Structure formats: structure tokens, C-alpha cells
Amino acid sequence: MPSYSEIMSLVGFKSKNAVAKLVNRLVGEGVLDKDGAGRLVPNKLFGEVPVLGLVEAGFPSAAEEELIDTMSIDEYLIPHNKEATYMLEVKGDSMIDAGICEGDLVIVERGPEPKVGDIVIAEVDGGWTMKYLRKKDGKTFLEPANKDYKPIFPENDLKVAAIVRGVVRKY
């Protein structure tokens, strides 16, 4: 939950006293609650937890039926081919306009033929680089997602090692 001074700037109040009045109103309405130390905790802020249905003996319940088709976050991140999946850590901001930041983990797949427009991991000067795969006049090249960087035109053939399939960011 935000602090009083954060709420102050969020709602545009001039004093913390005004914030305290607002908070007390919200507590009164049952939207917020205060814990033992006086810190704010959400009460009904995010709505009720949905109940999936009562389980009745003998009858299949809606809850059971709905929960069968689930996948783990692993399966979600690696939809293609488990044995060909690798991860790399992003350094620098050359793909920032594609929403990939420094420190992100990218999930990549080795093996399949890359398509133009894919974000790929290529081998350049003995290191890994991640860029968009582009094609112009029959020649493939690598394009960054950041105006401050120049596209990379390979001298010989372009060595693409893997295709980016997902990004993971942990805060």
C-alpha cells in the first residue's frame, strides 16, 4: 500500500492531515483496514476471491472441471520445445523499444529456421547479440530496437543461434 505522502501526491492533497481523513473514510467503508502497527492493508480493494463452486459428493463440480486444463508457468514460457530452450541475461538497452530491458531474462529456442521479423540471438564477434532479424534487397541483417544503435550488416553469413520466445522480469 502507498504511504501517506505518496497518497498525498497521488490525489493532489496539500497536507497529510487531509490524507488521514480520506483514509479514515475508506476504513469506515470497509475498503481499507489497519493492521496492529497502524499500517494500511487492503480489505475489499481487489474484490472478493471468486468461489469456484461447492464440491458435492457424487456429482462432478464445476470447480474440478475448470481446474483440469491448467499449465505451469514453465509450460507457459516454454510452449515449443523443452529440450531446445535456453536462457540468457540481457545487457544494455539496444532492444529497449521492443520492451526488453537490461537485466531481463530471455527464453530462446535453438534449432528452428528463423523468420524475418523474429527477435534472434546471433553470434557477432565472438559474443551473443539480440536484435530483430530483417531483410533488405535479399540480404539479411540485424536491427536494434533503439534509435541510438546502428543496424548490423554481417560481412559473411549471419550466424543465428536461437529465436527469442519470451522475456522474464523479476522485481
Partner 1 sequence: MTPFTHRTFPRAILHVDGDSFFASCEIVKDPKLRGKPVITGKERGIVSSMSYEAKSRGVTRAMKLSDVRKLCPDAVILPSDYETYSLYSKRMYEIVRRYTPDVEEYSIDECFADLSGMRRVNHMSYEDMSMRIKHELDSELGMTFSVGLSVNKVSAKIASKWRKPSGLTIIPANMLHIYESKLPIGKVWGIGPQTSAYANKLGIFNAYDFAMKDMAWIADKFSKPFVEIWRELRGEYIQGLTIGEKHDYASISKTKTFTPPSTDKSFVYSQLSKNVENACIKLRRHELYTSKFAFFLKTQNFNYSGLELKLAQSVSTPQEILEAIEERFDDVWRKGVEYRATGIVLMDISHATGQTNDLFGYGNRIERMRSVYGAIDRISEKYGKHSVFLGSSFRAINERAHRGDRSQAPWRHRNIVRGEGAKRIAIPFLGKVN
What's the sign of the alpha-carbon dihedral 23, 29, 30, 35? positive
* 129, 133, 158, 163: residue in contact with partner 1 (rule CB under 8 A): 129
Q: Which helix (H) or strand (E) holds 112?
A: none
Fill in the per-residue mask, 94 to 113: x = in contact with partner 1 (CB under 8 A), - = not in contact. Answer: x--------x-xxxx-xx--
> Binding to partner 1 by residue 147, rule CB under 8 A?
no
Q: Does the footprint of partner 1 cover residue 114 (CB under 8 A)?
A: no
- Between CA 53 and CA 64 the distance in angstroms is 9
β pairing state of 127-136 and 139-143: antiparallel
- Among 35, 48, 69, 89, which residue interacts with partner 1 (rule: CB under 8 A)? 89
Nearest approach, Cβ of residue 76 and partner 1 (Å): 14
CA distances from 109 to 4, 79, 88, 138, 161 (A): 47, 10, 11, 25, 9
Q: Please give the residue ranges that form the binding site for partner 1 (CB under 8 A).
A: 78, 81-92, 94, 103, 105-108, 110-111, 121, 123, 126-130, 161, 170
